Amino acid sequence: MSQALRARVKGGRLVLDEPCDLPEGTEVELVPADDIDELDENERARLHGFLAASIRQHEPGSGVPSDELLARIRSRH
C-alpha cells in the first residue's frame, strides 16, 4: 500500500476521514501521528531542510517504491 490514510478514534474505533479504494481485508499498519518521533523544533527544522534538499536532488525513476522499502524494513525484524 503506498497511499497515506487518515483516521480518527470514535467510540473506540478507527474511522477513516476520507473514502479509500483498498480491497476488502487489506491489512494496514497504524502509527499514532504524535508518537512518530521525539524531535524538538530545531531537529525537525534540520530534518525538513535535509528532506527538501533530497527532493531537489532526486532523479525521477531512481527511487525505491514505498511498498518495497517498507517490505525491506519489515524483513529485518
Taking only the tens place, the pLDDT of each residue in 11-25 is: 999 888 888 888 888
Please give the tally of structural domains in the chain.
1
pLDDT of residue 40: 87
Domain that residue 43 falls in: 7-75
Question: Does 31 reside within a domain?
Answer: yes
The pTM for the full model equals 0.36
Buried b (16+ CB within 10 A) or exposed e, 34-57: eeeeeeeeeeeeeeeeeeeeeeee
Question: Does 2 reside within a domain?
Answer: no
Residue 2 has pLDDT above 60, yes or no: no
Question: Does 1 reside within a domain?
Answer: no
Question: Does 42 reside within a domain?
Answer: yes
Residue 1 has pLDDT above 50, yes or no: no
